[in-house]
Amino acid sequence: MRKQNMSAKQMRKQSTSAKHKLNSANVTGAVVVAGLAAAVVGSWPVFWLVVIFLVVTAVHSGDIRR
């Protein structure tokens, strides 16, 4: 398939690497876990603290890559 004939959506889909998919899955998981924790406690600050904690630890451990 030629790049000239590809739609913008197809070009974005083609350019998404495995690294980007894993990074987005990791962040999505952090948001879901933080949402569950915040729902149990009933607090928005808990949500933000858990999201920040999970994302920072994932970056530090190398699960989220640049």
The string of pLDDT tens digits covering residues 27-65 is: 999 999 999 999 999 999 999 999 999 999 999 999 999
Phi and psi at residue 62, in whole multiples of 5°? 95, 5
Looking at residue 7, its pLDDT comes to 74
The torsion of the CA quartet 56, 60, 64, 66, rounded to 10 degrees, works out to 110
pLDDT band for position 15 (cuts 50, 70, 90): confident
Its pTM stands at 0.75
Query: Residue 4: its pLDDT value, please?
Result: 65
**Domain segments of the chain: what residues?**
17-61
